[in-house]
Structure 1
Amino acid sequence: MLRLPGNSHSQVMRLLADLFRRRSASLLLIRHDDSRAGVRHSAEVQHRRPAPLAVFRAHLGHHLRDRLRLSDEESAELIRGYLQHSDLVDALRSSYGPREVVPIAEALGQGHPADDGALAEILRSSQPRRRARAAEILRSDASGASRRPRRADQHERAFRIAYAVFAWQSLHYAFEAAGILLEEIDGQAKRVDWGRLALQHPVSELLGPLAVDWQEGREATRLRGGSSRSAWLHDGGMRGVIIDEAWHEFDSTRPALLKWLDRLVSADDEPMQRAAAEAAGLLAHHDFARVCADLIDGWAASPRSRLRQAAAWAMVAADMGGQVGHLVRGQVRDWASGHRNLQRDAAARVYASGLQQPDLSWSLADLRRIAQDPMQQHTYMVAEGVYQLYAPHRSDQIIFELAEWSDDRQLQLHAAGALLSLAAIPADTSPSGVPELLVRAAAQEVDSHDLVRLWQVALLTAGVSRRAWSTFEQWLTKADSDEALRKATAALVTDLTALPSMGRRMRFHLARHSQFEDGLPEWLDAAMRK
């Protein structure tokens, strides 16, 4: 399965044509219909969106057969029983495609048998129901309109949007952010800021349907301790849906929302910055190009490190939605390979947050480009990015790449920092906390010469040498208490002490280590004498 941008499918078809002919095989190509019907290829047919009930039957049937070992007839009978519930059928029919139907089927398959209460809870968390509730939350109160204060509807909507953006934060953030949003709305309308009178709008009125969530949150925080004035949401998925509703269902809202988020991110308050960045990431699910161009790109190029961090948070939040992951990764690669060092720093922060490219070598190549930037010489973002990429089955490839870095003077500090981060990771299978990388070295799953090159750089590089000696001494301590690790560790010590200036340094540091103050163990002393 390939995800190809633009018209790249034409080139791929040309490359694969001979192979398919030799194999007498057929190529089935599924692509977005971004062309006019008049220029559609004669072999192309328009794909019709599958009926939501059919998608539900297929996926729930699969889960029931797989989990309960039912026959086709038995699973079909259970599905017919579920479809007798009109609320379920209504939710399925109001869905926007299979992406919203499949989670309902999966939840029912995992929770079977689901009674009326369990089914109601599953539907309450489904996207169709969330959209309906979001519309209710942002709907104006038409009753008694003549008695309502000026701009009451707008004030309530602004507060509810701010409440969603600052979910699980102190309620004062929602008040402050709602005021800023109203200022941006006034600015877009080119009218004088009318201001907001104190003691005019009780929280219960401003919240409307969200008051139920707020009361539930007050009770929950009272029982466990903590602030009783938090912006609580019973269903965390409502946060993105309320933002989506405000973005799509109200006219002239988008410019004000974008400027509002930009102002929030520019504040010197980390919870406010993070919430605004996450909201930008949620909006990117629906309009990636605009949100990235109008907000996130600018944050990534900002001379303020907090704004570059906000760009990284926004990208990670955008990726979590799943539908724009390829766009997120493409944008991060553009930052990493671009000519602006500030955007390269933003890309480093994204990788340090845990985002990865589909192929490990792509992520490592990006981190190498970033590490070559002089701006990164005194940061640990690249090392943290490598740390986030690590997994036991990747150890050899990552150590090989870092060893290549160690030959480049400009990359040595990053290679050393990454090694020390990886060298401290405890193995999952070791109750005594033996380092994961030491276990791999003992099993000969990483190249010993690459490890020697890396440890030499780490132990001799001024910026990290103290930390490197401490970490290396921990390796020796673990090897001293575990005979299975000694052979590989002794070979590592022998190769290191054979290098110029390392033998005397090794003895100097080990003699001052508390574990070896009474003398070196026999195996270690022998390794150093070879």
Structure 2
Amino acid sequence: MSPAEPAEDPRPGTDRTAGRPEDEAPETAAETDTEPAEETDAPQDVWSARRDLWHHSPGIMLGSSAAIGGSLVGGDQHGVSGGRVVGDVIMGSKTEIHYGGWAGPAYASGDLPQDVLERLTALFAGCETFDTALAVLRTERVVVLTGAPFTGRRTAALNLLRQVGASPVCILDPDTSPAELPLELGSSQGFLLGDMITRRNQPLRESHLRAVQAKLAEHGSYLVITAGLHTSFEDTVRTTQWKPPAPEAVLRAHLGARVTEDEAGALLRLAATRDFLARQHQLREVVAFSQELAAYARGERRAEELERFSLTAVEQQVQEWFDDGTVSLHDKAFLIALAAFDEGPYALTAELSDLLYGFLLNIEEGGVRARIPVFGTSIAKRLQLARARRYPENEHTEWGPVRQMKSAFLDDRTPMALLVEVWTGHPSSRPALVRWLKRLAEDGRPLVRNRAAATAAVLAAADLPSAMALLIEPWAAARRYRFCLAAANALTLAHLLDTPNIPRILHDWCTEESGRIRWTAIRAYALLGPEMPEVALAALSGAARDVDAEAAGGEEAEELVHSTAVLLLSGAGPTVLSRLAGFLQDEQSVRDLALRAFLEACTKAEDDVDEARPALLAWYARAAVATGVEDDRLLVSLWRAALGERAHTGAALDTLRDWVRQADTDPESEAALSALLPSLAVAGPDHQRLSHLLRTVPGAHGGPPPSAAARLLAALTPALPTARS
């Protein structure tokens, strides 16, 4: 490159002449809602919001937990697979990993002595790709080895040169231009050009390689070029894709040089080793782990240090990404977006990473508007840099499953480690992250909104005070319910990640005067209640006492009902049922909460599937034949109270009509109703009410009366008292 030629800016582009767009005007940390005061939205119902949260939260965060998902009634409550991971990421000791390799800068130029060459290649583990590259080198005298960073390309290149007897080896400057390459080939027998640097307008062409071959043939020498992510080629250039040997083969080779054969076998059988090999670690990490295993065999390392090593390697890789000046800001924005949308659609991740890039550039360049090329971004190179993969899988949508091309990190611990590193290790990025997450939280797509909440939860687990002040509290106090829901979801997921003090926050918020903050706490109790049912019900019933008569039909009161109903149909159902039955003896506001929540739960189908058996009817059927439980008696008591109280009678009868229609197509539901209805007919008004209902129940969609009604009436008749004369 001539001195007058400017170096290519690695960033997608900046516009230093454009004015700052209104959309990118600075926002205060607490600003979460910029719409006119009268512009609000309706809250998403708790049932669909819970389902969206379960479908769209990262798998490592929820794992097998049934606190949110799982069956509606009697679901098991497991631990959260991600809790231990994020706890280790935040609380674990920071162990430095020192990778092996030749001394000095990775791309230092000059001759490599023979003894150093032999030392660096002595433990090389061969593979099929190496044999292919060796055949090309022997025939063509030059081979271009492409592949991902830290997969052993450099060691393979040196071993290729050693195998053809090319010594000494001269290390060339990676910034050598393709046109100048033949001029750099001196009298050495072997040459290595590692991670060749090219420009888009100066790619490596076939004509360059022909000139190189002619020069190599003059001296009987050989050249290996390793290509990085940003090396540009002409289409006709023949390259060899490097696929490294299996990590276990590399680990065995290095252990063989450090310990005895018996010790190596024992070390390979360790649980920490099996766990390490089960994850797709880079070969440099495998080599470093072999050193740790050898130190363990000498008594210099503890078992917990071996177990910690794998996660430490992930953390160190994340730190390298953000400390490396050669990784562009655009790529760093993509890494952050991929961490937030791990296991999500690639196109969505890329779209939203560009939005984050604009916010980050606004901080770094002081008001510069981002210029992002529409085309030209290589998906393969992006994912290679991120150590991620792309795969097809169905994505849940409101219209049903849709096939999507998704992307995810190879190591499922990377997303949390990355988000924690950015939030705590690079606080200058916080204003951009806050703006970005705000935009995600108000997005129309459920996946985007829920990933905003999940990301906020990870940040809260890493630094609760900052995440609360900058994200969650402003969201909870916002006018728009989308932000309130994001706050509730964030607190829910943060608690599942073992973040301390979340129950205390919810308790305090439930007593707040602000309606939005109270609403947020009530919604969060619907999701977290199964983890702490007694605490949740105490808070919800306390909030019900505070709702005045004029607001009894408002959104907060409705949210209390729905949240309580969700708890009843959760894994903590038996505990909740017992408490609701006890609420019947409480003051009227709490009694109303219990009955309204009970009737709301009666409208939900088992496993939350339309047209399935009513969940509470199925629960009654199971309890009626079980021993040692009184759930059937408690359900009957709530039914009788609902039927007997004027404010709730109409809703109770409507629900029973729905159950009768459902029983017309489900024999098991009919059998359960046949047992339930007589237990409700204990007084004259109850008999008359139920008898009239069964004689007059209309069919579905205006059709003929359900035939099951007559059979249920026959089952009810023996319970009717003899009329007095």
TM-score, normalising length: structure 1: 0.64
Higher radius of gyration, 1 or 2: 2
**1:311–1:465 CA distance, 2 compared to 1 (3 A):** farther
Structure 1 gap ranges (5+): 1-48, 53-76, 94-100, 106-122, 143-151
Alignment partners' CA distance in 2, 1:280 and 1:472: 45
User: 1:226 is paired with a residue of what secondary structure?
Assistant: strand
Secondary structure of the structure 2 residue equivalent to 1:192: coil
Mapped contact 1:348–1:381 kept (Cα < 8 A): no
Corresponding residue of 1:277: 453
Counterpart for residue 692 of structure 2: 508
2-side partners of 1:432 and 1:158: how far apart? 47
The CA deviation string for residues 393-429 of structure 1, in whole angstroms up to 9 with x for no partner, is 4265233244246x625762663333451686769xx
State the match for 1:418 in structure 2.
598
Tell me the amino acid that sits aligned with residue 474 of structure 2.
Answer: G
- Specify whether residues 225 and 528 from structure 1 end up closer, same or farther in structure 2 by C-alpha distance, changes over 3 A only: closer
Is structure 2 residue 443 aligned with structure 1 residue 267?
yes
Cα distance in 2 for partners of 1:451, 1:363 equals 23
Matched, 1:255 2:438: no
Say whether 1:527 aligns with 2:719: yes
* Paired AA for residue 449 in structure 2: Q
| Corresponding residue to 1:130 among 314, 330, 346 | 314
Q: Of 324, 337, 344, which aligns to 2:511? A: 337
- Match status 1:87 vs 2:279: no
Deviations 1:348-371 (A, max 9, x none): 22122244454x322111122344
TM-fit CA distance, 1:251: 5.0
The answer for the alignment partner of 1:437 in structure 2 is 620
Say whether 1:174 aligns with 2:355: no
Distance verdict in 2 for CA 1:127–1:464, change over 3 Å: farther
Q: CA deviation at 1:140?
A: 2.4
| CA distance 1:520–1:389, shift in 2 (3 Å) | closer
**2:566–2:601 contact (8 Å) kept in structure 1:** no
Match of 1:227 in 2: 404
Contact 1:188 1:256 in 2 (8 A): yes
Q: Distance in 1 between matches of 2:604 and 2:402?
A: 36
**SS of the residue aligned with 1:415?**
helix
Classify 1:103/1:172 alpha carbon distance in 2 versus 1 (closer, same or farther; 3 Å).
farther
2:641 aligned with 1:453: yes
Partner Cα separation in structure 2 for residue 436 and residue 250 of structure 1? 51
Aligned partner letter, 2:534: S
Equivalent runs, 1:203-222 vs 2, <5 Å: 203-210=379-386, 212-214=387-389, 217-218=390-391
CA displacement 1:4-63 (0-9 Å, x = unmatched): xxxxxxxxxxxxxxxxxxxxxxxxxxxxxxxxxxxxxxxxxxxxx99x9xxxxxxxxxxx
Q: Deviations over 1:428-471 (max 9, x none)?
A: xxx99862135436766144545521443499444564224424
- Give distance in 2, aligned partners of 1:81 and 1:518: 69
Match of 1:227, SS? strand
1:258–1:403: structure 2 CA closer, same or farther, 3 Å change rule?
same
CA contact (8 A) 2:585 2:591 kept: no
Does the aligned pair in 2 maintain the 1:155–1:206 contact within 8 Å? no
Q: Which secondary structure state, in structure 2, belongs to the residue aligned with residue 353 of structure 1? A: helix
The answer for the alignment partner of 1:363 in structure 2 is 536
- Which stretch shifts more, 414-423 or 365-374? 414-423
8 Å CA contact 1:413–1:463 kept in 2: the answer is no
Partner deviation per Cα, 1:173-208 (whole Å, 9 max, x = no partner): 323322332333344457222322414643444445
Q: Does the CA contact (< 8 Å) of 1:353 and 1:388 recur in 2? A: no
The reply to whether residue 481 of structure 1 matches residue 671 of structure 2 is: yes
Whether contact under 8 Å (1:161, 1:242) holds in the other structure is yes
Question: Structure 2 CA distance, aligned partners of 1:308 and 1:262?
Answer: 12
The structure-2 alpha-carbon separation of the partners of 1:479 and 1:291, relative to structure 1 and needing over 3 Å to count, comes to closer
304 and 524 in structure 1: CA distance in 2 versus 1, 3 angstrom threshold? same
Q: Residue 385 of structure 1 corresponds to which residue in structure 2?
A: 566
The amino acid that maps onto 2:568 is: Y
Between the two proteins, what is the percent identity of the paired residues? 17
Q: TM-score, normalised by structure 2?
A: 0.48
Structure 2 Cα separation of the partners of residues 361 and 335 of structure 1: 17
More helix by share: 1
For residue 278 of structure 1, what is the amino acid of its counterpart? A
Distance 2:291 2:585 in 1: 58
Output the amino acid matched with 1:353.
L
CA distance in 2, matches of 1:92, 1:395: 55
Conserved 8 A contact 2:340-2:455: yes
1:300 aligns with 2:476: yes
| CA distance in structure 2 between the aligned counterparts of 1:498 and 1:233, rounded to whole angstroms | 66
Q: Counterparts of 1:462 and 1:287 in 2: how far apart (Å)?
A: 50
Which residues in structure 2 correspond to 1:168-207 (within 5 Å)?
168-189=343-364, 191-198=366-373, 199=375, 201-207=377-383
Q: What is the identity, as a one-letter code, of the residue corresponding to 1:295? A: L
Two-structure CA RMSD over aligned residues (Å): 4.4
Matched to 1:493, the amino acid is A
What is the DSSP-based 3-state SS (H/G/I as helix, E as strand, rest coil) of the residue aligned with 1:339?
coil
CA deviations on 1:305-357 (whole Å, 9 max, x unpaired) are 111111122112212212x1x41121112222222221222122212224445
The one-character-per-residue Cα deviations of 1:62-107 (angstroms, maximum 9, x if unpaired) are xxxxxxxxxxxxxxx97997399672884999xxxxxxx87987xx
| CA contact 2:567–2:576 (8 Å) conserved in 1 | no
Distance 1:352 1:378 in 2: 12
- Corresponding letter in the other structure for 1:87: F
1:169 Cα deviation after fit: 2.3
Match of 2:332 among 152, 157, 179: 157
CA distance in 2, matches of 1:336, 1:91: 52
Amino acid at match of 1:470: D
2:671 partner letter: S
Contact 2:461 2:494 in 1 (8 A): yes
Equivalent residue pairs, number:
406
Greater strand share, structure number: 2
CA distance in 2, matches of 1:463, 1:482: 20
**Letter aligned with residue 327 of structure 1:** N
Q: Is this contact kept in 1: 2:584–2:591, CA < 8 A?
A: no
Partners in 2 of 1:410 and 1:520 — Cα distance?
Answer: 33
Looking at structure 2, the residues matched to 418 and 91 of structure 1 have their Cα atoms a distance apart, in angstroms, of 59
Distance 1:404 1:81, change over 3 A: same
Match of 1:18 in 2: none
Partners of 2:622 and 2:291 in 1: how far apart? 54
Deviations 1:368-393 (A, max 9, x none): 23445433344453244323555464
Change (3 A) 1:235 1:529: farther
Whether the 8 Å CA contact 2:362–2:369 is kept in 1: the answer is: no
